[in-house]
């Protein structure tokens, strides 16, 4: 190869034409100097085989270029949906999901465009090859673990159908094509390069790098800035008998205070689907299904357009006088309140409990979801830990059962999209008690301003 690029015939040709002929190491030089140049490492000359390889190289280049540009578009336009698709693979740590979802589509777009333009093909082919190795590996890994998730390759929607053997075959075919492309450009590094001056080439690199870093940085900063504060309530009797009880009057003034300070009330669906902007958002979650929740909804939440999430443990619903009935719960759910799992018997989901009685532990997580979904006809994808206590066993089982997130009672913000949180199965909440509102209000204002 080296020899060929310094071929004296080539220099002669460069002198004649005044520019570098990209294929001077092949057809022209061979035509001039005969079969002594025929050796591995070069396009095989003007013969039929050479022409076929040349045509195959360009066909593969255009196919992969178009595929990658097309695949990048929906991900760039909807990075939140793509972040969720990436998160579903459960391969990357949570804090890398957002970054990957923002950066990867741009690498696809740039590599695909370069292939289509036939510019810098060695780098583009290497990038395409590397991405396809990663994609094929991720699909294989997920199928081996039996994950029923969408691949996210051509549609960012995590709700679109799961991957199957065809997905794997498709990725493998693209992988073979990319290896062929890489093989061709490595054998003749200048085969695909359009003639470029060194200066303008550097400029183009710099501009592309700036666009890439700018967009990635903007997206990352924007994603990090979107946040929600989740409040946790329990009951609304106002009789002063329970520490976690808040009167309807206090509840109303707390909601009005937040609204007056510019906070927006969001729903669980907003949080899950990333329809949240800015730093001043609040989601209300009410644990346990106390019967006072019905009145609180009608008197306080509904008139203010607030749709809280109800964390329910089914064992008491319709059975205990202090709990909501299934009819009330159905009505609240239909009115737009979110429904979250809260165990079946409200047992503390500690590691010790799992080790001592794993069947009962599993029932708490699996049966609560099934019962709520069957009785209310809704999909339950969030969980609130009884007494706020998370454990590794609980987090693992929640993930496997199809819950997408879970809430503790540790104070802090929840980032949107959920995948950008350190752990979507340990999301923060502020638990409101009868006397701690001034502290919570102050903490929210301070955190929102940061
Ligand atoms: Zn509870």
For 202-224, how does the pLDDT look when each residue is reduced to its tens digit (9 = 90+)?
A: 666 665 676 566 555 555 544 44
Centroid of ligand 1 to alpha carbon of 430 (angstroms): 14
Centroid of ligand 1 to alpha carbon of 384 (angstroms): 8
Average pLDDT of span 367-388: 96
Centroid of ligand 1 to alpha carbon of 345 (angstroms): 10
Between residues 76 and 380, which one has the greater pLDDT? 380
- The whole-number pLDDT of residue 9 equals 39
243-301 confidence digits (pLDDT tens): 999 999 999 999 999 999 999 999 999 999 988 888 899 999 999 999 999 999 999 99
User: To 5 degrees, how large is the angle CA 219–CA 221–CA 225?
Assistant: 115
Centroid of ligand 1 to alpha carbon of 146 (angstroms): 33
Centroid of ligand 1 to alpha carbon of 390 (angstroms): 13
Centroid of ligand 1 to alpha carbon of 259 (angstroms): 26
Centroid of ligand 1 to alpha carbon of 383 (angstroms): 11
User: pTM here?
Assistant: 0.54
Centroid of ligand 1 to alpha carbon of 403 (angstroms): 18
Total Cβ atoms within 10 A of residue 251? 20
- The whole-number pLDDT of residue 264 equals 94
Average pLDDT of span 32-60: 60
Centroid of ligand 1 to alpha carbon of 311 (angstroms): 8
Ion ligand 1: protein residues whose beta carbon lies under 5 Å:
287-288
- The whole-number pLDDT of residue 195 equals 44
137-157 confidence digits (pLDDT tens): 888 888 887 766 667 777 654
Total Cβ atoms within 10 A of residue 354? 19
Between residues 46 and 363, which one has the greater pLDDT? 363
Query: How far is CA 46 from each of CA 9, 23, 29, 176, rounded to the nearest angstrom?
Result: 16, 11, 10, 25
User: What does residue 84 show for φ and ψ, rounded to 5 degrees?
Assistant: -65, -40
Average pLDDT of span 9-32: 39
Q: Which range (69-83, 163-177, 206-220, 232-246) has the least confidence?
A: 206-220
Centroid of ligand 1 to alpha carbon of 443 (angstroms): 23
Centroid of ligand 1 to alpha carbon of 109 (angstroms): 48
* Dihedral sign, Cα of residue 61, residue 62, residue 67, residue 72: positive
Q: Return the residue matching tokens 């906070």.
A: 263
- The whole-number pLDDT of residue 109 equals 92
Record: fold of 227-449: TIM Barrel (3.20.20)
Centroid of ligand 1 to alpha carbon of 240 (angstroms): 19
E strand or H helix at 269: helix 268-273
Nearest to 300 by CA among 339, 254, 248, 264: 248
Centroid of ligand 1 to alpha carbon of 293 (angstroms): 13
Centroid of ligand 1 to alpha carbon of 387 (angstroms): 6
Centroid of ligand 1 to alpha carbon of 117 (angstroms): 60
- The whole-number pLDDT of residue 65 equals 93
Centroid of ligand 1 to alpha carbon of 393 (angstroms): 19
- The whole-number pLDDT of residue 3 equals 42
Centroid of ligand 1 to alpha carbon of 346 (angstroms): 6
Centroid of ligand 1 to alpha carbon of 335 (angstroms): 22
Average pLDDT of span 223-233: 83
Centroid of ligand 1 to alpha carbon of 70 (angstroms): 47
Centroid of ligand 1 to alpha carbon of 320 (angstroms): 15
Centroid of ligand 1 to alpha carbon of 260 (angstroms): 29
- The whole-number pLDDT of residue 197 equals 52
Query: How far is CA 205 from each of CA 29, 196, 201, rounded to the nearest angstrom?
Result: 31, 12, 6
Tokens of 200: 């303008």
Centroid of ligand 1 to alpha carbon of 246 (angstroms): 15
Q: What is the dihedral of CA 297, 302, 308, 312, to 10 degrees?
A: 30
Centroid of ligand 1 to alpha carbon of 63 (angstroms): 56
Q: Alpha-carbon distance 307 to 298, whole Å?
A: 11
Centroid of ligand 1 to alpha carbon of 447 (angstroms): 26
Centroid of ligand 1 to alpha carbon of 103 (angstroms): 40
- Give yes or no for a contact between 72 and 218, defined as CB atoms under 8 angstroms apart: no
**Residue boundaries of the structural domains of the chain:** 45-221, 227-449
Please, which pLDDT band fits residue 190 given cuts at 50, 70 and 90? low
Centroid of ligand 1 to alpha carbon of 360 (angstroms): 18
Centroid of ligand 1 to alpha carbon of 253 (angstroms): 24
Q: Decide if pLDDT at 26 tops 60.
A: no
Q: Decide if pLDDT at 241 tops 90.
A: no
Average pLDDT, the chain: 82
- The whole-number pLDDT of residue 94 equals 66
- The whole-number pLDDT of residue 187 equals 77
Q: Which range (54-63, 192-201, 227-236) has the least confidence?
A: 192-201
Centroid of ligand 1 to alpha carbon of 248 (angstroms): 19
- The whole-number pLDDT of residue 162 equals 62
Centroid of ligand 1 to alpha carbon of 258 (angstroms): 24
């Amino acid at each position: 190869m080296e020899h060929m690029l310094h071929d004296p015939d080539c220099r002669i040709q460069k002198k004649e034409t005044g520019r570098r002929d990209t294929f001077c190491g092949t057809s022209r030089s061979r035509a001039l100097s005969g079969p002594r140049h025929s050796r591995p490492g070069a396009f095989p000359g003007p013969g039929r085989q050479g022409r076929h390889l040349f045509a195959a190289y360009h066909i593969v280049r255009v196919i992969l270029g178009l595929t990658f540009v097309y695949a990048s578009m929906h991900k760039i336009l909807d990075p939140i949906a793509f972040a969720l698709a990436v998160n579903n693979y459960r391969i990357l740590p949570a804090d890398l999901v957002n970054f990957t979802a923002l950066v990867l589509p741009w690498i696809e777009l740039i590599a695909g465009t370069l292939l289509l333009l036939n510019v810098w093909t060695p780098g583009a082919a290497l990038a395409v090859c590397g991405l396809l190795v990663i994609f094929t590996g991720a699909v294989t890994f997920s199928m081996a673990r039996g994950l029923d998730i969408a691949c996210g390759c051509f549609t960012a929607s995590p709700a679109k159908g799961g991957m199957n053997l065809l997905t794997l075959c498709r990725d493998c075919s693209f992988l073979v094509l990319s290896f062929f492309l890489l093989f061709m450009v490595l054998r003749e590094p200048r085969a695909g390069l359009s003639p470029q001056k060194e200066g303008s080439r550097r400029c183009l690199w710099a501009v592309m790098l700036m666009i890439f870093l700018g967009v990635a940085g903007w997206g990352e900063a924007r994603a990090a800035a979107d946040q929600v504060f989740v409040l946790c309530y329990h009951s609304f009797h106002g009789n002063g008998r329970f520490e976690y009880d808040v009167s309807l009057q206090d509840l109303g003034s707390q909601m009005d205070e937040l609204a007056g300070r510019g906070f927006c009330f969001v729903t669980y669906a907003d949080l899950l689907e990333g329809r949240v902007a800015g730093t001043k958002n609040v989601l209300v979650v009410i644990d346990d299904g106390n019967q006072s929740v019905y009145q609180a909804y009608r008197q306080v939440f509904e008139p203010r357009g607030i749709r809280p999430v109800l964390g329910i443990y089914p064992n008491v619903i319709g059975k205990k006088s202090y709990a909501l009935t299934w009819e009330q719960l159905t009505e609240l759910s239909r009115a737009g309140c979110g429904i979250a799992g809260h165990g079946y018997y409200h047992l503390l989901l500690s590691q010790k409990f799992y080790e001592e009685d794993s069947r009962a532990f599993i029932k708490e997580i699996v049966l609560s979801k099934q019962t709520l979904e069957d009785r209310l006809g809704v999909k339950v994808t969030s969980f609130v830990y009884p007494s706020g206590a998370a454990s590794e066993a609980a987090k693992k089982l929640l993930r496997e059962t199809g819950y997408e997130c879970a809430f503790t009672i540790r104070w802090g913000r929840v980032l949107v999209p959920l995948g950008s949180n350190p752990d979507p199965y340990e999301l923060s909440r502020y638990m409101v008690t009868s006397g701690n509102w001034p502290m919570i209000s102050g903490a929210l204002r301070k955190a929102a301003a940061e």
